[in-house]
Structure 1
Amino acid sequence: MIDQAQINQLFDCDMVDAHGEKIGSVKQVWLDDRTGRPLWAEVHTGLFGMKDTFVPIQEARMGQGQIVVPVDKKQIKDSPHIDIEGGHMSDAQQDELYRYYGMIPTASTGEHDRLPGGRQQRGTTTRDTATRDTGARNTGTKDTSRKGGGITRHEEELHAGVRDVEAGRVRLVKHVVTERQDMSVPVRREEVRVVREPVDPNRPADPNAFGDEEAEVTLHREEAVADKTVRPVEKVRLDKETVTDQERVSGNVRKERIDVEDNTTTRNKRNDRNDRR
């Protein structure tokens, strides 16, 4: 069962049914005027979260960062549309929801106050009960003339938190590019040169002298060729590291101020030093 101490955890929290089916995210919480106990949660449902649906959370529980309600998702999807005006839920509207969900209504408490959600108001834990009009029964003021008691003053506190969101995705993609390379390689070739050597004059003359004769020499040379081989050069991988930045959040908070009315005079007196804070 969810109590007042857990109200801060409800806003923007995912709601699931007893089977673990996601229903939507909580945007507003409605409290009982008398006890301040959370009764209903206004949940954004639908494909794009555009539909507002009221879900009973009297018997809900928190678990693993989610709100688990003992109501089937299909039943919640087909729940009646409740049009709320002025931030109050009337008894008739509440009874309509009780009848639909097959629950026993609680004692009539007049209208029920809405506790708005949102990140700028996550610190809200209660509602203004000092002077609110509640219709058939005025539960916003207390008669302290018998006991000489006081009025409890409330303030909203702003709390900052963080949540994980996806900032983007990085992936490695390999593709082939072609570039031209020029290399210089030494090559050899054979050339012909004429070598003249003297002969022995006493050597007998060649009988074929004064005849045609030819000699042939084969020349060789080296030719540059290009060949390619594949070899690994490096391995690239992705690694993540966490860096911490500072961001500022802001929001509007409400606080109650108490005025002193002196019935012995016809005007109101305010004790700014002690009573008005």
Structure 2
Amino acid sequence: MIAMADIREWRGHPVVDEKSHRIGSLESVYVETATDQPFFATVTVGLAGRRRLVFVPLDGAVVGPGYVRVAFPKSQVKQAPAIGTDDVLPVEDEPAVFAHYGLPYETGAGGERRLARR
């Protein structure tokens, strides 16, 4: 897993899939609230005036010279749940982000949300 301090330094850098196809640019990092560890990234995709942020898990991600490589195909990432470039993921949309990648979703013991933007 990429360390939080490291991943923050990569904002704005290209995000590529496992076959080096460019997906977009790294915009922000969402951490798991229970551990404060990086869990998802948002990637800016789309054309000017129609940009949106899609979510991709950071599990299996690696950084290279000038890029962040994620472990998911470009087509899957581009079809992921998205938010506007100035928005934050609503708590009620969290389960859909996890489901898109086949990841289990559980809230905290007190019902708190699973992800927080950093």
DSSP-derived class of the 2:15 partner: strand
DSSP-derived class of the 2:82 partner: coil
Q: Which amino acid aligns with 2:107?
A: S
Higher-RCO chain (CA-CA 8 Å, sequence separation at least 6): 2
The list of structure 1 runs, each at least 4 consecutive aligned residues, that deviate by more than 3 angstroms after superposition, is 85-89
Displacement of 1:100: 1.1
Question: 1:62 maps to what in 2?
Answer: 63
Question: 1:77 maps to what in 2?
Answer: 78
Q: Which runs of 5+ in 1 are unaligned?
A: 116-277
Q: Provide the rounded CA distance (Å) in 2 between the counterparts of 1:21 and 1:69.
A: 10
Higher relative helix content: 2
1:131-146 equivalences in 2 (<5 Å): none
Deviation by residue 1:243-277 (Cα, 9 ceiling, x = unmatched): xxxxxxxxxxxxxxxxxxxxxxxxxxxxxxxxxxx
Higher relative strand content: 2
Displacement of 1:71: 0.8
Larger Rg: 1
Q: What TM-score, normalized to structure 2?
A: 0.78
Change in CA separation of 1:95 and 1:9 when aligned onto 2, cut-off 3 Å: same
- Do the aligned residues in 1 keep the contact of 2:83 with 2:89 (CA within 8 Å)? no
Q: Provide the rounded CA distance (Å) in 1 between the counterparts of 2:53 and 2:88.
A: 14
Displacement of 1:10: 2.5
Question: 1:46 maps to what in 2?
Answer: 46
Change in CA separation of 1:88 and 1:79 when aligned onto 2, cut-off 3 Å: closer
Question: 1:162 maps to what in 2?
Answer: none
- Pair 1:104-2:107 in alignment: no
Displacement of 1:43: 1.1
Q: Provide the rounded CA distance (Å) in 2 between the counterparts of 1:55 and 1:10.
A: 15
Displacement of 1:88: 5.8
Q: Provide the rounded CA distance (Å) in 2 between the counterparts of 1:22 and 1:39.
A: 20
- Do the aligned residues in 1 keep the contact of 2:52 with 2:83 (CA within 8 Å)? no
Q: How many corresponding residue pairs?
A: 113
- Do the aligned residues in 2 keep the contact of 1:82 with 1:93 (CA within 8 Å)? no
Q: Which runs of 5+ in 2 are unaligned?
A: none
DSSP-derived class of the 1:47 partner: coil
